[in-house]
Amino acid sequence: MAPGGGISLVELVVLGWSSAAAPAPIPIRIDFDAPAGCSTAAAFYDALRARTDRVRLATEGERSWNVHVRLSRAGSGVHGELRVIHERGETDTRTVKGASCDTVVQALSLTASLAVDEVVAESAPPVPVAPPPAAPAPREPAPPVDAAREAPPFRLEIGAHAVLTQVVAPHVSFGGALAARMTQQRMDDVFSPSLGVALIHARNDLLQSAGNAAIQWTAAALAACPLRWQITGFLGVQPCATTAVGWLAATGRGVMYPESVVRSWWSAGGLVRAAASFGGGTAVELEAGISAPLVHRRFILLSPEVNVGETPVISPLVGLGITHLF
């Protein structure tokens, strides 16, 4: 309270804030004492209710707070006093001076509303403060998008091919191959590795006369294809490194006592594979490659001695077939 019984600015702020949590209206009785023609208790109550809804007039016999208002003339002005008696005691006497009765009554109604708010705030139980929420556990930083992108799994690919090759010159051999591969297809990446093995059998008397020697070639070929270029949406091309291990069997023809010989086959080379997909994992494949036999072989007929063939320096191979990716 400011000197002289006035209300300080700090009190106004504190009391005004405390009115935010108003309980049910408090029953009051007004004891109003003023000179004749200097306002009324009703005028004071109406001004008080205009400022707060925390109070109401008490009924007969009801326990209530008592609000004492005293007005007196002081020279050319009016002197007013306010005191509120409540269940826990009473407030200090608040004083107001003004030029007229109405001015003082309005000021005392404001003072009374602030006094009521002050008493209610002091009587109210403290509001429990909720503990701050627990801080979330730190998360592992997400890896960069490129690092987090998982590579597609390897898938099994099975194929069958018709084969045209030359393993003993000047003979041309026809045959077939069965292949199994583990393939990783990355549609947006050149690095799409594939590793496969093929079982190949070809002979020179399958579609034509064998001449003076029947040649059969059986081998297991390994192909490693690290790269793949997707030329169009359905056509892809792969370069591959190859190696083959097997055997050559040759039988003389056109002699009285034909003999057969079997020799090992070793070669290394490369091929280019083009695959046109038809959807559903099925594709038509064309392979074209060359290999170099690592051991030179020559086949000769005796009586009379005739050179019927020998392994070429470069052995070509062309395959056409169908594959399915599981």
Tell me if 231 sits within 8 A of 237, measured CB to CB: yes
CA distance 206 to 214: 10
pLDDT at 201: 96
Measuring CA to CA, how many Å separate 127 from each of 21, 123, 133? 10, 12, 18
CA distance 159 to 281: 11
Going by CATH, does the domain composed of 3-123 fall within 3.30.160.100? yes
Which range has the worst mean pLDDT, 42-51, 121-130, 213-222? 121-130
Element (H, E) at 53: none
Q: Where are the domains of the chain?
A: 3-123, 153-325
Which range has the worst mean pLDDT, 92-106, 142-156, 166-180? 142-156
Average per-residue pLDDT in the chain?
82
DSSP sequence for 32-48 = EE--TTS--HHHHHHHH
Task: Answer yes or no: pTM beyond 0.75.
Answer: no
Nearest alpha-carbon partner for 219 in 309, 319, 116: 319
Over residues 5-32, the mean pLDDT reads 59
- Per-state percent for the chain, helix, strand, coil, to nearest 5: 15, 50, 35
Per-residue pLDDT band at 157 (split at 50, 70, 90): very high
The DSSP bridge partners found for residue 237 are 229, 274
R_g of the chain computed on alpha carbons:
55
Per-residue pLDDT band at 148 (split at 50, 70, 90): very low
pLDDT at 153: 84
**What percentage of the chain has pLDDT greater than the value 90?**
39
pLDDT at 23: 66
Whether 46 shows a pLDDT value over 70: the answer reads: yes
Phi, psi (degrees; rounded to nearest 5) at 226: -80, -25
CA distance 197 to 180: 6
Length of the chain: 326
Tell me if 281 sits within 8 A of 156, measured CB to CB: no
**What single-letter amino acid sits at 303?**
S
**Residue written as token pair 């809804």:** 53
Going by CATH, does the domain composed of 153-325 fall within 2.40.160.20? yes
Most confident of 27-31, 90-94, 251-255, 284-288: 284-288
List Cβ neighbours of 49 (8 Å cut-off, separation of 6 or more): 55
Measuring CA to CA, how many Å separate 253 from each of 168, 192, 208, 210, 311? 15, 48, 14, 8, 18
Over residues 311-323, the mean pLDDT reads 95
Between helices 101-123 and 9-18, what is the axis angle to 10°? 60
pLDDT at 19: 42
Phi, psi (degrees; rounded to nearest 5) at 22: -70, 135
pLDDT at 11: 44
Which range has the worst mean pLDDT, 37-41, 172-176, 305-309, 316-320? 305-309
Over residues 210-236, the mean pLDDT reads 87
Over residues 233-246, the mean pLDDT reads 91
Whether 128 shows a pLDDT value over 50: the answer reads: yes
Nearest alpha-carbon partner for 265 in 248, 250, 249, 289: 248
Tell me if 55 sits within 8 A of 28, measured CB to CB: yes
pLDDT at 22: 47
Element (H, E) at 187: none
**What single-letter amino acid sits at 276?**
A
pLDDT at 283: 92
pLDDT at 250: 87
Per-residue pLDDT band at 303 (split at 50, 70, 90): low
Over residues 266-288, the mean pLDDT reads 91
Give the residue with greater pLDDT, 310 vs 305: 310
Tell me if 119 sits within 8 A of 91, measured CB to CB: yes
Which range has the worst mean pLDDT, 69-83, 122-136, 245-259? 122-136
Per-residue pLDDT band at 291 (split at 50, 70, 90): very high
